Amino acid sequence: MSAGMERRAVSRHLRLLGAQMRLSMLAALEYRVGFWTEGVVGLAWSLGGVVPLFVAFEHRSDVAGWGPWELVLLTGFFLIISGVYASAVQPAVSKSMTQIRTGTLDYVLLRPVDALASCLTAQFEPWSLLEALTGIGLVIVAAVELELSPSLGQLGALLVVLVSGLVSLVALGVLMLCASFRALELQNLTSLMETLLGFAHWPISVFRGPLKLVFTFVVPFAVMTSYPAQSLIGGLGWPELVGAVGTTLALAIGARVIWGRALRGYTSASS
Amino acid sequence: MADGPVISLERLDKSFRVSQREPGLWPAIRALFRREHVEVDAVRELSFEIQRGERVGFLGPNGAGKTTTLKLLAGLLYPSRGQARVLGFDPADRRPEFLRRIALVMGQKRQLSWDLPSLDTFELNRVVFDVPRELYERRLAEMTELLDLGAVVRKPVRTLSLGERMKCELVAALLHAPEVLFLDEPTIGMDVTMQLAIREFIREYHRRHGATLVLTSHYMEDVAALCERILVIDEGRLCFDGSIAELVRRIRPLRRVAVRVDARLDPGTESELEQLGQLALAGPPRLALDVAPQRVPAAVARLLALPGARDLEVHDAPLEEVMRELFARRVSVREAEGA
Amino acid sequence: MSSGRVAKLGALWRLGVAEAAAYRTSLLIWVLATTMPLISLVLWRALAASGPIGDYDQDGFDSYFIAAFVVRQLSVSWVVWDLDSQIRTGALSALLLRPVHPVAHHVMFNLAALPLRTALAAPVAIVVLLATGGISITANPIALALAIPAVVFAWCLNFLTQLAIGCLAFWLTKAAALYDVWIGAYVVLAGYLVPTSLFPHGLAEVARVLPFHAALGFPVELLIGRLSTAQALEGIGLQLAWLVAVGAIAALAWRRGLRAYGAFGA
């Protein structure tokens, strides 16, 4: 493929993203009650998940080496991840699963664009971004309270782990979608994922043994919330950085390969 | 690209794995540990060619493999064995250059966004299919006019009638002016006027763009009005390929000779007529006799000789009856084919 | 109860078991999605490594969260999603035409999945029991006897809450989403993530009289012997009070809702 064609393909996919976002926005505006059911409730849910952290501070001066404001910083990153999950990943995956069930995925596959790109932009919940915005606010407040003045290197590391965290979140979404090709009942995996995401509230240093490995390498919550906070506080070393990028690449490549195989087995539900 | 068939299938097979179990509690519990699967052949050794600009109809009973064949041709399903070529591409590769030149319209599945006006989905497809804005505006105007859509495209899809929705689905599928158009039951569940309007529109699209049409439908009128060539598919196999007239003659070789009469037949005449052929209607008001082609002249003469006989008609058996017979006696069709 | 009715309920039960078997994969995922207490266990166990937190030491957390996992498995129901979709799609009409009350239908279907659910959850529970310090159950025979009705009432409370919220689908399009609000509060306030007795003063007292705690935290604490007989009886009384309140709301919503359902002719 020539560079020109490649550039055209990229711009076409970007325009696809824009057009699908526009469509989702319009649909979201049709039901303004979504602001309350998706946005406010989602935020309340996530903030409710902080209660156990409060309880821990009732009885301890730190949680596994993390002080109160450091955990506020981590909570900020949690809200960003959770907001992106609720606004972009979960809706797109659920919508695509519905399309698999009803067979309207046919129309997605008939488009002259990458089918996975089409699925991942299938639906978008703008209201849930409220959560991500609150998260950004918390990160700023905590950074001010902790009197952080991150170096350029630290900001670079933050960027790397944040992107890694988001990419692995999307890759997990793709894997759930692939699973639902095999058996429709596996659609419940999104709720399992939501439950698990609750544990990204906690710093990775709290977990022990196999659970620590799982949350670092398989469902890498460490990469999503602990590492970004650590990158600002200081204490994120090269091993963690390399591990984060490696885990993310493995997840992303695995997801792409499995997606290709899942598509070959698509049976296109009739009616 | 100008020569050779647009579509060609060579010994195409498609089978699905389906799980099954007996009803009841114990089988349900047993299925926990061991699930039984059956291979179901949806399409078997299917081979045919379609030339550019042809209008082809797939006929066959429910579950015969018509829709599976369409989906294989559109690249939605990967064939288990054999080869398909459409516009020189392997459909299963789903290359963008291929997808930009075809469209599949399904009467039972919608692509329009439920809560939004159709125009919003059209706009999405414009971007996705890379249609220049000018061309898009022109095609949209042309199709809205042909389909008499007017303000309908500005209303949320959920508020539209079934027919209006189908019209908008057609617009969404045709904005990129596909060269090959696959239609799966496009008029299902619609009233007669709406069926007529959609049929007319598809015919007009074919006339203007010289597109190749491949259609499945439960409504014989759709197929009869739109398609010059019929492929009968049953149990995944091709069992007839030819024109409608040929199909009718093969299934129902008898022709129907009918007249209008005023009085009942007396038993003598009735048995005399039955020697010529089969008495299908024993009026008044209509008297109809199904006879072998070579007996048509004799039957015409005899019927017209009846007192008060008028309005003579000679025609093939009605299509719906042919179809009913075709699907009721599926075995004998294949025998007739000499398969 | 007449034998005809027993036969009908028996048929519903068998159908429910068959359905549960058919949806075993989703059931397994639901079991896994409710393993949250077990992850909390690991977490709080680690936090308690340097000494007890409140009146819970490491073994205390083990007992609490294993019991929470078990009670959660036994008291779960999903009528809200079924009812919501049946009302929206009109499938409820078919149930209303049967000579069995639709609520009885849902009760049987929810109960019928329990054996299979328990079977799927048992291996998880056994592994955790072996891996941790195990669970110490109350030595008080009265408390142990009271734990049985406490779990049954917890199930009833969950079921009736879901029924009441599910009935909102008669009027609203997003009733199931409203249940998410409830479950969000439940997760925090029921003692699912952390025992409510560890909450800060003030919050703890409020949380412990709410229905969330009655549906999980109370039976768990009773089971692991953290309540005196007097406290146990008090807790059961509180459960019954919530049952009456929620039950009345559910009955009202059901009756009103059916009228609305009939009005828009589903």
Q: Can you give the pLDDT at residue B338?
A: 36
- Give the DSSP per-residue string, B123-165: HHHHHHTT--HHHHHHHHHHHHHHTT-GGGGGSBGGGS-HHHH
Helix, strand, or coil (residue A85):
helix
Fold observed for domain B7-248: Rossmann fold (3.40.50)
Among C19, C23, C24, C27, the strongest candidate for a mutation testing the B interface, having the largest count of B CBs within 10 A, is C24
Q: How many domains does chain A have?
A: 1
Q: What does the pLDDT look like over C199-253, one tens digit per residue? A: 988 889 999 999 999 999 999 999 998 999 999 999 999 999 999 999 999 999 9
Structure-token pair, residue C221: 């604490």
Q: Can you give the pLDDT at residue B330?
A: 52
Note whether B277 contacts A: Cβ–Cβ < 8 A: no
Among B32, B36, B114, B115, the strongest candidate for a mutation testing the C interface, having the largest count of C CBs within 10 A, is B32
Chains that touch B (3 or more CB pairs under 8 A): A, C
Residue of chain A with shortest Cα separation from C180: A41
Query: Between chains, do A206 and C47 touch, taking CB under 8 Å as contact?
Result: yes
Contacts of A19 in chain B (CB under 8 A): 123-124, 127-128
DSSP A225: I
Structural domain range at position C22: 3-263
Query: Between chains, do C22 and B24 touch, taking CB under 8 Å as contact?
Result: no
Contacts of A53 in chain C (CB under 8 A): none
- Residue C265's pLDDT band, with cuts at 50, 70 and 90, is very low
Q: What is d(CA A102, CA A85) in angstroms, rounded to the nearest whole number?
A: 24
Q: Which of B67, B104, B130 is nearest residue A110 as measured by Cβ atoms?
A: B104
Q: How many domains does chain C have?
A: 1
Structure-token pair, residue B147: 């389909």
Query: Which residues does chain B have with pLDDT short of 70?
Result: 1-3, 19-25, 27-35, 317-320, 327-339
Helix, strand, or coil (residue C99):
coil
Note whether A15 contacts B: Cβ–Cβ < 8 A: yes
Distance of CA C59 to the CA centre of its chain: 25
Q: What does the pLDDT look like over B280-328, one tens digit per residue? A: 777 778 888 888 878 888 888 888 888 777 888 887 766 667 777 776 6
The candidate with the shortest Cα–Cα distance to C160, out of C74, C247, C248, is C247
Kindly report the number of other CB atoms within 10 A of residue B297's CB atom. 12
CATH code assigned to B254-316:
3.30.70
Q: Can you give the pLDDT at residue A195?
A: 81
Whether the per-residue pLDDT at A38 is higher than 70: the answer is yes
Query: Between chains, do A185 and C187 touch, taking CB under 8 Å as contact?
Result: no
Decide: B256 and B226 in contact? Cβ < 8 Å: no
Structure-token pair, residue B139: 């095609």
Query: Which residues fall within 8 angstroms of residue A70, CB to CB, at 6 or more apart?
Result: A142, A146, A229, A233
Query: Between chains, do B25 and C24 touch, taking CB under 8 Å as contact?
Result: no
Note whether A182 contacts B: Cβ–Cβ < 8 A: no
Peptide bond into B285 cis (omega under 30): yes
Query: Which residues fall within 8 angstroms of residue A26, CB to CB, at 6 or more apart?
Result: B116, B120
ipTM over 0.85: no
Residue of chain A with shortest Cα separation from C56: A59
Contacts of B124 in chain A (CB under 8 A): 19-20, 22-23
Structural domain range at position A57: 22-264
Range with the lowest mean pLDDT among A156-160, A240-244, A249-253, C94-98? C94-98
Note whether B100 contacts A: Cβ–Cβ < 8 A: yes
Q: What does the pLDDT look like over C7-37, one tens digit per residue? A: 878 888 888 887 787 777 888 888 888 888 8
Contacts of C119 in chain B (CB under 8 A): none
Q: Can you give the pLDDT at residue B84?
A: 93
Helix, strand, or coil (residue B216):
strand
Query: B-side interface with C, Cβ within 8 Å?
Result: 23-25, 28-29, 31-32
Query: Which residues fall within 8 angstroms of residue A14, CB to CB, at 6 or more apart?
Result: none
| Strand runs labelled E in chain B | 7-20, 36-50, 55-59, 81-86, 102-106, 180-184, 212-216, 229-234, 237-242, 255-260, 278-282, 286-291, 310-316
Query: Between chains, do C198 and A59 touch, taking CB under 8 Å as contact?
Result: yes
Q: Can you give the pLDDT at residue A3?
A: 67
Q: What are phi and psi of A150, to 5 degrees?
A: -65, 140
Query: Between chains, do B16 and A109 touch, taking CB under 8 Å as contact?
Result: no
Give the helix ranges, DSSP H, for chain C. Answer: 3-22, 24-33, 36-47, 58-74, 79-89, 92-96, 102-112, 114-131, 141-167, 175-189, 203-207, 211-215, 217-223, 229-263
Whether the per-residue pLDDT at A220 is higher than 90: the answer is yes
Among A31, A98, A106, the strongest candidate for a mutation testing the B interface, having the largest count of B CBs within 10 A, is A106
Residue of chain B with shortest Cα separation from A260: B93
Query: Between chains, do C46 and A202 touch, taking CB under 8 Å as contact?
Result: no
Percent of chain C exceeding pLDDT 70 equals 97
Helix, strand, or coil (residue C227):
coil
* Domain residue spans of chain B: 7-248, 254-316
Decide: A154 and A71 in contact? Cβ < 8 Å: no
**Dihedral sign computed on CA atoms, order A8, A13, A19, A25:** negative
Q: Can you give the pLDDT at residue A159?
A: 93
Residue B238 identity: L
Query: Between chains, do A113 and B108 touch, taking CB under 8 Å as contact?
Result: no
Residue C76 identity: V
Residue range A87-112: mean pLDDT, rounded: 88
Q: Can you give the pLDDT at residue C155?
A: 96
- Residue C89's pLDDT band, with cuts at 50, 70 and 90, is confident
Note whether B124 contacts A: Cβ–Cβ < 8 A: yes
Q: Can you give the pLDDT at residue B21?
A: 67
Query: Between chains, do B115 and A264 touch, taking CB under 8 Å as contact?
Result: no
- Residue C190's pLDDT band, with cuts at 50, 70 and 90, is very high
DSSP C220: H
Residue of chain C with shortest Cα separation from A50: C188
Q: What is the pTM of this model?
A: 0.77
Placement of tokens 């288990």 in the chain: B80
The candidate with the shortest Cα–Cα distance to B140, out of B114, B119, B165, B163, is B119
Placement of tokens 């965290």 in the chain: A165
Is pLDDT larger for residue A181 or for residue C239?
Answer: C239
Chains that touch A (3 or more CB pairs under 8 A): B, C
Query: Between chains, do C34 and A199 touch, taking CB under 8 Å as contact?
Result: no
- Residue C134's pLDDT band, with cuts at 50, 70 and 90, is confident
Q: What are phi and psi of B278, to 5 degrees?
A: -100, 130
Query: Which residues fall within 8 angstroms of residue C223, CB to CB, at 6 or more apart?
Result: C67, C71, C137, C138, C144, C147, C150
